[in-house]
Amino acid sequence: MNYTVFRVWGIPIRVHVSLLVFVPVLVWLIGSGEQLAAYEVVINATTPATVDAASLSDADRWLIGALAAVGLFASVTVHELGHAWVAMRYDIEVESITLWILGGLASLTEMPREWNREFWIAVAGPIASLLVGAACIGALVVVPESATVAVFAIGLLGVMNVSLVAFNMLPAFPMDGGRVLRAVLARNRSYVSATRTAARAGTLFAILFIFLGVVVTFSPILVLVALFIYVSATSESRAVVLGDLLSGLTVTDLLEPRGSVPVDATVETVFARLLAARRTDLPVVDENGAIVGAITATALRDVGPAEYETTTVGDVTTTDLPRIDAETSAFDALQTLQRSRSDVGFVVRDGEPVGLVSRADFAAALELRRDTTAF
């Protein structure tokens, strides 16, 4: 569940409920004495400031934890806005930016296949984080060391932003470094091949992170990051392959003669129609021949054999199907079915259903393309 908190350049900045749960935990992690002692060493070694965690009161510790936690996710927002700014320069729409337990996600309407565009969109986030980190470290030159809480919080944000850049630039697709890897690979090979290689690298890093998070040091967050990388890399690689296999096809190309069944026919007559058409779904038409829904093998499971003669097709017709324009690309249509969690959808032309398209139609097209295409 996401909540829109404000907008930047018209882009809704959303907070996922997982972040609301995680922030208090992050405040506690940062504000604990052991963590601040570790941060003290890093801040003193890498910034102009000199801090002493032992001199902090309990109230100071929790205040620093709260400021650093909020500041961290403000920094993540700036990081994602870096991606968004470059994407918009390439006329790519940014639907939203979502902050969640593992950081932030800028949702683009499309990911460009031109290697140079993906490269600059990917590195824009880390560059924004570097600028924030540099600004924080630079601020320590002018902030008086007597302002202990401010110095500690600003120093922490400087270190965190630089660390965020270092982590994000690991070639673990689909993190920023992984997208940079794909962009570089795509200069000299196909986009599909580059994606597959980058996805394999992401999978290897996911395994490494799980090992580190379980065996070396107990870190649930690192394990969650690993799972996110693995699932995202696998999903995006699959989507790219599907998109390539279905390229050039529209929904109209997938339409096949199905026949139809009248809305007042009995279920008993439907089985013969399904067998004759070798389908698991058929359009249902009214008395005027207009398509009003679909009858599916799944819906027929709910009808007992004793009710076949008394149950009409209209009683078990599915009417709330996704509507897909006939000129929609096959890949976008498949995405529509997946988002709606439906096995079948209406194909619409001029606002009126003209047929059905199902996952089986896509499977047949993919099998044919897979057998005739070499990557």
Q: Check whether residue 149 and residue 188 sit in a common domain.
A: no
User: Closest by alpha carbon to 258, among 365, 112, 361?
Assistant: 361
Residues 185 and 152 in one domain: no
State the chain's mean pLDDT as an integer.
85
Q: Are 183 and 115 in contact (CB under 8 A)?
A: yes
Residue that is last in its domain, among 126, 145, 169: 169
Domain holding 184, by residue range, is 174-245
Instruction: Read off the tokens for 159.
Output: 């270190």
Q: Please give the tally of structural domains in the chain.
A: 3
Whether residue 138 sits in one domain with residue 42: yes
In angstroms, the CA 178 to CA 164 distance is 14
8-state DSSP, 296: E
Are 165 and 178 in the same domain? no
Q: What confidence score (pLDDT) does residue 59 get?
A: 87
Give Cα 339 to chain centroid, integer Å: 12
> Same structural domain for residues 60 and 188?
no
The yes-or-no verdict on residue 268 having pLDDT over 80 is no
Same-domain pairing of 6 and 145? yes
| Mutual angle of helices 33-46 and 17-31, in 10-degree steps | 80
Phi/psi for 281 (5° steps) reads: -150, 145
Cβ contacts of 224 within 8 Å, gap of 6 or more: 101, 102
Q: Do 15 and 72 fall within a single domain?
A: yes
- The arrangement of strands across the sheet holding 352-358 comes to 323-325, 344-349, 352-358
Percent of the chain whose predicted confidence (pLDDT) is above 70: 97
Residue 142, judged by CB atoms within 10 A of its CB (0-12, 13-18, 19+), counts as exposed
- 314 has a pLDDT exceeding 60: yes
Structure tokens at 244: 């390539």
Q: Can you read off the two tokens belonging to residue 249?
A: 């096809």
Q: pTM score, two decimals? A: 0.78
Nearest-angstrom CA–CA distance, 203 and 232: 10
Q: Quick one: 52 and 126 in the same domain?
A: yes
Pair 255, 241 in one domain: no
| Same-domain pairing of 131 and 161 | yes
In terms of domains, do 132 and 26 share one? yes
Q: What's the whole-number mean pLDDT along residues 287-291?
A: 81
Which of 109, 134, 169 is the endpoint of a domain? 169
Mean per-residue pLDDT, 5-33: 86
Are 62 and 88 in contact by the 8 Å Cβ rule? The answer is no
Catalytic residue IDs: 80
Task: Give the residue among 303, 265, 264, 301 at the shortest CA–CA distance from 280.
Answer: 301
* pLDDT of 305 above 80: no
CATH number where 318 lies: 3.10.580.10
Over residues 159-207, the pLDDT tens digits come to 889 989 999 999 998 899 999 999 999 999 888 899 999 999 999 999 9
Q: Detail the residues annotated as belonging to a binding site for Zn(2+).
A: 79, 83, 176
Per the CB < 8 A criterion, the answer to whether 317 and 295 are in contact is yes
Domain end call among 220, 245, 270: 245
Question: Under the phi-then-psi rule, with left for phi > 0, alpha for psi from -120 to 50, and beta for the rest, what region is 188?
Answer: alpha
Question: Which residue, chain included where needed, has tokens 């809480």?
Answer: 149
Asked if residue 140 and residue 23 are part of one domain, the reply reads yes
